[in-house]
Structure 1
Amino acid sequence: MCRARPTDKQRLVQLLQQKGAVVAVTGDGTNDAPALKAAQVGLSMGDGTSVAKEASDITIIDNSFSSITRAVMWGRSLYRNIQKFLLFQLTINVAACLIVLLGSLFGTESPLTITQMLWVNLIMDTFAAGALASLPPNERVMRDKPRKSGKDGDFIITRPMAYNIFGVGITFVVILMGLLIHFHADDGLTPHDLSWFFSFFVMLQFWNMFNAKAFMEGSSAFTNLKESKSFMFVALVIIVGQYLIVTFGGEMFNVIPLSLKDWGIIIGSSSLVLWVGELGRVFTAKRQ
């Protein structure tokens, strides 16, 4: 628009918004202020007037349009990483709560002690938060449509996330309850059985963390692992920490050491969670 008045620019923004568009406006002069204010995102230039900067949401210090693209990519990637963390955390919560609840209903002792649950919560709230929140930005997020804002805005937990949380969580509960019934059918729950159950529960969540990493990415969980150094470090901490707790935790964690054969079976069988997720992602990619 050549020689547009400030009100013309503002009206253009409002008409686009009425059509359902998410509008970003760049400007550097005082006459751009109404449009900058009306847009969902107002972007002023670093060498622009103070009026334009006050009316805008973001100031582009280096006056480069490529900075806008990078900012959007980082913002969307961070939002996606938060969704991945919530997916991982809520899946554990669903599984843990149902296991404790069903154990109480069936009149059996809780298979997870308080100290064991503290370790699980440490994995959820600290390690997993650091691992999933620090994943590098992915350019694929630039293909996504803008999220709705305001009263009708998109909730951070989407429908596919909810299906995944409850579907995977309930599947874990069925597997774990089957394991408890198998152990209990022999001669009750022994310390070895409880240690095995605790380790299997943690390893299920460990492999599911890789599935959470790949959620909504359209690629394998092993993609960009070299760039995800924080993620790999946290994964190593969880494995080593679990081994040390079971081997040396003793009465504090109500565990006894497991043999290498036990660890092999636990890690191998629980990793099916990851491979099933990988197969699902392959079929989804082919369908798209």
Structure 2
Amino acid sequence: MDDNFSTIINVAKWGRSVYINIQKFVQFQLTVNVVALMVNFVSAAFTGSAPLTIVQLLWVNLIMDTLGALALATEPPSDAMMRRPPVGRGDNFITKVMWRNITGQSIYQLLVLGILLFRGDSLLQMNNNDDLLNTFVFNTFVFCQVFNEVNSREMEKINVFSGMFSSWVFSAVVTATVVFQVILVELLGTFAGTVHLSGWLWLMSVLIGSFSLVVGALIKCIPISSGDASSDRHDGYQPIPTGPSAV
């Protein structure tokens, strides 16, 4: 520390960055938890078996906790954070904006995975191959989380790609997740309980997962009341009041 005023600004900026990054991680983690729990529970209740094996759930847990924390909690601060009003002591950590994003993404993923679980065999002509269907569901689920991780970079901004490649940790984590997912499905089938997927099924998994970006953009157009986000702004920030009206 020193007596330079810019140091105070940097401390405030990094403090806000840490707080917001933790919120991003919690939003991502809750979405993964809700979807994974509901998919396995509903499938077990109606079909008698869960589509995600223990090894697959451990991999999902690794994505959700370790890799998710590395990707989202290490995002560098931006000057735009200083335009945000300070967080009050009585403010909820999980804001209405976060609940909106969690709910929207969870609904989309549950609908898609539910259709695949109960109608995927006939839609994709898998000839009652349960192992193939479960592997495809698992692969699609993981890619939904990969793209939702990108979504979680910005809780309110529609442009989630801004500054993404300036964070080498985030880029490395996403790349590593995709690479290890390919290895898990294609090379570690006996260990992970997966089978080989054709190029078409891989493409379908990626496309379904990437649609989370579109869903995320649409969700962020839903206005939130009570000061969490302005109904006519989509940059994630509200101007700090100035002038006589602010007194």
Structures share fold, TM-score greater than 0.5? yes
Unaligned residue ranges in structure 1 (runs of 5+): 1-60
- The alignment covers a number of residue pairs equal to 224
Partner Cα distance (1:281, 1:86) in 2: 18
Matched, 1:169 2:109: no
Pairwise CA distance, 1:76: 0.3
Give per-residue Cα distances to partners, 1:165-190, cap 9 Å, x unaligned.
12321321121111111135575452
Q: 2:119 aligns with which of 182, 193, 204?
A: 182
How do residues 57-68 of structure 1 correspond to structure 2 at under 5 angstroms? Answer: 61-68=1-8
Q: What is the aligned partner in structure 1 of residue 12 from structure 2?
A: 72
Matches within 5 A, 1:1-288: 61-149=1-89, 153-184=90-121, 188-216=128-156, 218-278=157-217, 287-288=232-233
CA distance in 2, matches of 1:84, 1:73: 16
Partner of 1:19: none
Are the structure 2 counterparts of residues 286 and 228 from structure 1 closer, same or farther at C-alpha, using a change threshold of 3 Å? farther
Q: Is the 8 A contact 2:101 2:219 kept in 1?
A: no
CA distance change for structure 1 residues 79 and 221 in 2, over 3 Å: closer, same or farther? same
Give the letter for the 2:200 counterpart. K
TM-score (norm 2): 0.84
> Deviation at 1:226?
2.6
Distance 1:66 1:108 in 2: 61
Q: Deviations over 1:1-25 (max 9, x none)?
A: xxxxxxxxxxxxxxxxxxxxxxxxx
Shift of 1:155: 2.3
Offset, 1:281? 5.1
Indicate conservation of the 8 Å contact 2:108/2:215, yes or no: no
Paired residues of 2:31 and 2:105 also in contact (CA < 8 A): yes
Amino acid at match of 1:287: D
Shift of 1:158: 0.9
TM-score (norm 1): 0.72
Contact 1:81 1:132 in 2 (8 A): yes
CA distance in 2, matches of 1:279, 1:183: 26
CA distance in 2, matches of 1:175, 1:72: 41
Residue pair 1:94, 1:170 contacting (<8 A) in 2 also? no
Task: Provide the rounded CA distance (Å) in 2 between the counterparts of 1:167 and 1:237.
Answer: 27
CA RMSD of aligned residues (A): 2.1
Larger Rg: 1
